[in-house]
Structure 1
Amino acid sequence: MADSSTMTGADVVAALLVERGVEIIFCITGAGNLALVDAIGRNTKIKFVFSHHEQAAVMEAQGYSRVSGKVGVALVTTGGGTINSLSGILSAYLDSVPVLILSGNESSFHCENMQEFRAYGVQGFDSKTVAEPITKSASRILSATEITAKFNEAWESASTDRMGPVLVDLPMDLQRKMTSSSEQIVISAAESKNTKPDQPESNIKLITECAKRLSKANRPLLYFGNGVRGESALARARELVEKYQIPFCLSWSALDLFEDAHPLNMGRIGIYGDRASNIILQKSDFILCVGTRLAIPQIGYDRDDFARMADRWIVDVDPIELSKFAKHQWNPICQSSETFLDQVLKELVELPKSDSLSLWLLNAQEIWQKLPRSEQIGAAVGSAHEVHSFDVINFLNSVLHEDAIVATDVGAGLLTGHYALAAKGTQRIFTSQGLGEMGFGLPGAIGAHFADPKRQLICLNTDGAIMFNLQELQLVKHHQIPMKLFIFNNDGYTMIKISQQNLFDARVSGSDINSGISFPLFSDLAKTFGFEYCLIDNISSFESALRPALESPEAVLIEIKMSPDQKYLPRLATSKLADGTLVSPPLEDLDPMISIESLRDLLGYQPHANSYKSRGLPYEQRQN
């Protein structure tokens, strides 16, 4: 903005967006942002995608960011527009997705002088304070001269260190107020970044020690999360894996970072994870977790029992996340994935390799041979006119493009999708992992399309979840997005129904069509929104109907008829004993359970006491 001619505050914002390379904005116009919409449309070539709900707009900005690697941008209006965006903001915050939310508000007079009032002006409120706990930063501009400074501060916050959403609130009068570039308070990009101190001596010593112990480990395991997604960090992770031939596992957020068929890929750990992966984890004698916060779905409810035989290390850029492990026999290192991996690789050059790695890898591969993914999903259920969600995903593995984008929602889309999808090539697979809200899948997929329109686009959704952002189907029609929208139809909220059956003596309410919840005919929905329609209700239709649907150049709604009784297995399930006692098995002991003898053989030592208790067996401590 070298030109010193006068311009409106909205013009300043438009110029700043151009400077940052913004190409797409997901937006809903309203009285509170009209000047911004006008200035961006008048002064730039930025494309507007006009969403139909603010939470969806932010989710679309998320999907765009996840695929493009850029900061996503959403523009919302004051009052209800801003408050509607909060689900999308929180989702981005929990998953560390960089999104800039520009919100309009009532005039600066009202924002400054009505702070004790419930409402500002006509429909404004203190959106800054509301957003603060679920953003990296939330700011309100109170002078046209500070637009540039606050915009740049927010942008740098969103896109550096542990990334996340930021909100910049711009009152309506300041959008229209005349200013000039020479009046702008400028904070350079370098100044607005958090100043990073030199790596502390304690970190250097810890990394050196970590490398020494890794080189001596007989059964090491690496565990990578989404924090290694950056190009440089991922290159170093690959070098560590392949140069030293160390087996690794991936979090659900990172399952597309390596091909599923990579010979050192030991799968996905977690309460809905791979049985083989969990057993390998509990056999390891050293685990190094990089770029993952190790949430409860990954480690279960007993953090001390995770990798119980191992020397445990975790690397995270966020000291708050690391504080969970300070008192739990872990070795935490507060460092970026890229810097840590670079340093540990330098340290390993000088150290000898363990002689036991080849035997360990062979043992891990044998466990996988005994426990293939396809054989852990339980007994078949349903009728001849229903299909298992695993069979659908397994078929997709054979036909999806090498660069396909797959966005998932909850239920079958998430639990079967992220369990069974076998990533290959440059596929991008994502969901809302931390919040897990119903309704993310469709807008997430729409946003991803605008990041790379040429790639095959798959959305794995469900009959329940699609209802939470149903209105965004109009965007698919309007923009002629050739999305393949899967609706896994099991007549309700199966996970909720199962919990009601297990915990509340089978009293079911509001979780299936017989207890108060209903859904539209999806064939009618397809017609309304201009989708082709395909029904899959038996395996024989995979080749005859599903494959042609995937190859269609049009948007297709693919309804998958599932059994309402299908469970999502394997999973860590609490056992209820005959006397009513609840027992939680350890992470490696997933439902459907294998025999205690098989579990002991696979682990190579006596199973956890709760593995006996959950089977109603007596437990006697033995020497392994």
Structure 2
Amino acid sequence: MMKLSNYVVKFLEENNIKHIFMLSGGGCMHLVDAVGRSKIIKYICNHHEQASAMAAEAYAKFKGELSVVLVTSGPGATNTITGVVGAFQDSAPCLFISGQSKRQQTVYNSKIPKLRQFGVQEVNILPIVESITKYAAVINEPEKIRYHLEKAVYLAKSGRPGPVWLDIPLDVQGAVIEDESLNMFNPEELDTEYYKVNPQENEIKIVIESLKKSKRPIIIAGHGIRISNSCDELINFAKEHNIPIVTPIMGIDVVETEHKNYIGRIGTKGTRAGNFAMQNSDLILSIGSRLSVSVVGHEYSLFAREAKIIVVDIDVDEHKKKTIKIDKFINADAKIFLQKLLQATKNRKLGNFIAWLNKCNYWKRKYPVCLLEYKKVKKGINFYYFVDVLTKRLKPQIPIISDAGSAFYVVSQAINIQKGQRYITSGALATMGFSLPAAIGVSVATGNKEVVAITGDGSFQLNIQELQTIIQNNLPIKIFVINNNGYLSIRQTQKRFFNENYVCESKRSGISFPQISQIAGAYGIKYINIMNNEMMLKKIDVILNYDSSIICEIRSLDDQLVIPTNTAVVHHDGTITSKPLEDMYPFLDRKEFKKNMIVKPYEDIFFSGSIEKLKNEMLAKPIKE
């Protein structure tokens, strides 16, 4: 016999949970008491439930293991939502446990269709989270607690990982149960087709035959490589056969930047080298990437338009979107696929791709993200130069966290990933306020070790209260706040597309920001500011060698361009169309641009009158499974 709340904590202990991110409340008081009595689990108290969710998301991403969040009922539960969505879209296995009013005082149990609230500080959380979790349940029957816990954990970690949610009413939390005779969960009750992850032998053969026929193959390595722990298999295969690798933002840390097979980042905010390589390829092997719009661009028909596209992914639904053509879809776990591919191609030559790999590396050398001119800026600091200098000075064991806006784009473009280094960001949502709680989650995951967080003066405000969590837990987080006088990304959009009608981008248009030095002082955190390149080169090492948390304000440029970038053209009728991914702004001289094109340049297709035909053919072509 034991109290249900104590059983929940015991279950978590037995499932190797070492940390819980939480904010206490009356609706979860039995669970809070049980957590406090654990001799195994350490609880991290945040100052906002959104921060708890984001810390858990980053913790799960970094460790590749289940993380846990405990919140109270009502607003405690709803405050987590943005973090839950982030975990859902970025495939982070998180278990969210919320307290709830006692059973007879809940909307859920009232069965009154339009009832808005019943209990004190109560909200019917289940329908809110059902669409953003892999599993969500209200624990109405105490004897089923084991079943729901086992099912939730299984689903969180199986197939494509993601968050799960259990809502536990107060009287259920406090119930006494027979812990030795609880109902168990059997995975066989689920639709096993959903978790079909093994590629068929004929599918491996199709990939091999396609590679043999190819002259310019490329691998798109997505986040699924990291999730499936198959970075070594990816690199071994690419290295063995001299195949270039490119990555979307969520795959950036699967291979070090300077690896000879790594060419660059792809997509609307990719690198010139990465996009030139991808767009000029004749075969794309995409592994573990959902191929989002930010990766394939807005003009789907112009994506890798002369390439055969083979997609290997665990999630079938992601590739039913009506965007690009997919010639062959293989529903498989990335690790199992790569292991089988390695085995099938052992001691076999697939083709001579050396010249192609050399061409891709030429683009990598020719078109660096951080240009020499950025180093010559006298007033303020070019953001790209700062990221280049910082990340080249970091030890490879120090994880890097980035925030939203220009921090999300610039860091993702300019970061220099060293072998084994981790980069954590809010990939799908690009959520403002992510970096502080995420840095907390990652630091806790490493055993309270050093983490670098890069945020903007705008994003910094959204979870600024978590500075106290950093102090409370003595986490040595190096926080770099990029001061570009507000919302740089919004400023650039309004300048380009809205005739400089500035709204909510800086003090002049309705939003202002506090003195960062005074914020640091209020929280008792050491503060340093860097105003120019000369100061940066002198102070970076001082900051990195500091043995505690520190805030460094970087005075960047108010008009800092986020480049290279895929850009759009506004037509006279107000419509907007995007350039193809290879033609990035600032635009290259057209002679130089065409010299880099192996496939037919898009303007040649356009002026030949065949672009509409190309669009129709691609959009009409169904996925081949």
* Fold conserved between structures, TM > 0.5: yes
Distance 1:326 1:407, change over 3 A: closer
Deviations 1:19-72, CA, capped at 9 Å, x for gaps: 101110001110111100111222442111111111110101112112222111
Question: 1:503: Cα distance to partner?
Answer: 2.1
Question: Does structure 2 retain, via aligned residues, the 8 Å contact 1:215–1:351?
Answer: no
Query: 1:291 matched to which residue of 2?
Result: 288
The amino acid across from 2:586 in the alignment is P
Unaligned ranges ≥5, structure 1: 1-5, 613-617
Question: Does structure 1 retain, via aligned residues, the 8 Å contact 2:30–2:170?
Answer: yes
Question: 1:172 and 1:382 mapped to 2: Cα distance?
Answer: 62
Which of 241, 247, 251 is residue 250 of structure 1 equivalent to? 247
Question: 1:276 and 1:200 mapped to 2: Cα distance?
Answer: 32
Indicate the larger mover: 227-236 or 409-418.
Answer: 227-236
Q: Does 1:419 align with 2:398?
A: no
Deviations 1:296-334, CA, capped at 9 Å, x for gaps: 111101233221111111111111012126982431111
The amino acid across from 2:444 in the alignment is F
Query: 1:51 matched to which residue of 2?
Result: 46
Q: Does 1:394 align with 2:380?
A: no
Query: 1:540 matched to which residue of 2?
Result: 534
Which of 495, 508, 518 is residue 514 of structure 1 equivalent to? 508
The amino acid across from 2:365 in the alignment is Q
Question: 1:277: Cα distance to partner?
Answer: 1.2
Question: Does structure 1 retain, via aligned residues, the 8 Å contact 2:400–2:422?
Answer: yes
Query: 1:471 matched to which residue of 2?
Result: 465
The amino acid across from 1:385 in the alignment is K
Query: 2:156 matched to which residue of 1?
Result: 158
Q: How many residue pairs align between the two structures?
A: 608
Question: 2:416 and 2:446 mapped to 1: Cα distance?
Answer: 21
Question: Does structure 2 retain, via aligned residues, the 8 Å contact 1:312–1:331?
Answer: yes
Q: Does 1:273 align with 2:289?
A: no
Question: 2:18 and 2:434 mapped to 1: Cα distance?
Answer: 22
Question: Does structure 2 retain, via aligned residues, the 8 Å contact 1:494–1:565?
Answer: yes
Query: 1:336 matched to which residue of 2?
Result: 333
Question: 1:610 and 1:115 mapped to 2: Cα distance?
Answer: 63
Question: Does structure 1 retain, via aligned residues, the 8 Å contact 2:139–2:145?
Answer: yes
Distance 1:302 1:206, change over 3 A: farther
Query: 2:622 matched to which residue of 1?
Result: none
Question: 1:62 and 1:532 mapped to 2: Cα distance?
Answer: 27
Question: 1:193: Cα distance to partner?
Answer: 6.9
Query: 2:598 matched to which residue of 1?
Result: 604
Query: 1:363 matched to which residue of 2?
Result: 359
Question: Does structure 1 retain, via aligned residues, the 8 Å contact 2:300–2:324?
Answer: no
Query: 1:92 matched to which residue of 2?
Result: 87
Deviations 1:509-544, CA, capped at 9 Å, x for gaps: 111111010000000011111111111110001232
Counterparts of 1:75-224 in structure 2, within 5 Å, are 75-111=70-106, 112-113=109-110, 115-116=112-113, 117-187=115-185, 191=188, 195=192, 203-224=200-221
Query: 2:23 matched to which residue of 1?
Result: 28
- SS of 1:488's partner is strand
Question: 1:362: Cα distance to partner?
Answer: 1.7
Question: 2:236 and 2:244 mapped to 1: Cα distance?
Answer: 12
Question: Does structure 1 retain, via aligned residues, the 8 Å contact 2:485–2:558?
Answer: yes
Distance 1:565 1:326, change over 3 A: closer
The amino acid across from 2:402 in the alignment is T
Distance 1:382 1:368, change over 3 A: closer
Question: Does structure 1 retain, via aligned residues, the 8 Å contact 2:158–2:195?
Answer: no
The amino acid across from 1:151 in the alignment is L
- SS of 1:240's partner is helix
Distance 1:201 1:186, change over 3 A: closer
The amino acid across from 1:141 in the alignment is I
Question: 1:365: Cα distance to partner?
Answer: 1.7
Question: 1:383 and 1:198 mapped to 2: Cα distance?
Answer: 53
- SS of 1:312's partner is strand
- SS of 2:153's partner is helix
Question: 1:479: Cα distance to partner?
Answer: 1.2
Question: 2:555 and 2:393 mapped to 1: Cα distance?
Answer: 20
Question: 2:322 and 2:96 mapped to 1: Cα distance?
Answer: 33
Distance 1:359 1:500, change over 3 A: same
Query: 2:619 matched to which residue of 1?
Result: none
Which of 345, 349, 355 is residue 348 of structure 1 equivalent to? 345
- SS of 2:230's partner is helix
Question: Does structure 2 retain, via aligned residues, the 8 Å contact 1:300–1:587?
Answer: yes
Taking only the aligned residue pairs, the percentage that are identical comes to 29
Question: Does structure 2 retain, via aligned residues, the 8 Å contact 1:596–1:607?
Answer: no
Q: Does 1:40 align with 2:38?
A: no
Question: 2:204 and 2:419 mapped to 1: Cα distance?
Answer: 32
Distance 1:157 1:364, change over 3 A: same
Query: 2:426 matched to which residue of 1?
Result: 432
Distance 1:293 1:610, change over 3 A: farther
Question: Does structure 2 retain, via aligned residues, the 8 Å contact 1:393–1:421?
Answer: yes
- SS of 1:401's partner is coil
Question: Does structure 1 retain, via aligned residues, the 8 Å contact 2:228–2:334?
Answer: no
Question: 1:236: Cα distance to partner?
Answer: 2.0
Indicate the larger mover: 115-124 or 503-512.
Answer: 115-124
Unaligned ranges ≥5, structure 2: 612-625
Question: 1:123 and 1:607 mapped to 2: Cα distance?
Answer: 60
The amino acid across from 2:484 in the alignment is N
- SS of 2:387's partner is helix
TM-score norm. by structure 1 comes to 0.93
Distance 1:619 1:529, change over 3 A: farther
Q: Does 1:552 align with 2:546?
A: yes
Question: 1:237: Cα distance to partner?
Answer: 1.3
Q: Does 1:317 align with 2:311?
A: no
Q: Does 1:241 align with 2:238?
A: yes
Query: 2:402 matched to which residue of 1?
Result: 408
Query: 2:578 matched to which residue of 1?
Result: 584
Indicate the larger mover: 603-612 or 252-261.
Answer: 603-612
The amino acid across from 1:482 in the alignment is P
Query: 2:623 matched to which residue of 1?
Result: none
Distance 1:163 1:390, change over 3 A: same
Question: 2:195 and 2:481 mapped to 1: Cα distance?
Answer: 51
The amino acid across from 2:598 in the alignment is G
Distance 1:209 1:304, change over 3 A: same
Deviations 1:437-494, CA, capped at 9 Å, x for gaps: 1111110000101000354310000100011111111111111111110100111111
The amino acid across from 1:245 in the alignment is N
The amino acid across from 1:228 in the alignment is I
Question: 2:304 and 2:455 mapped to 1: Cα distance?
Answer: 33
TM-score norm. by structure 2 comes to 0.92
Deviations 1:78-97, CA, capped at 9 Å, x for gaps: 00100101011001101010
Question: 1:204: Cα distance to partner?
Answer: 3.4
TM-align CA RMSD: 2.4
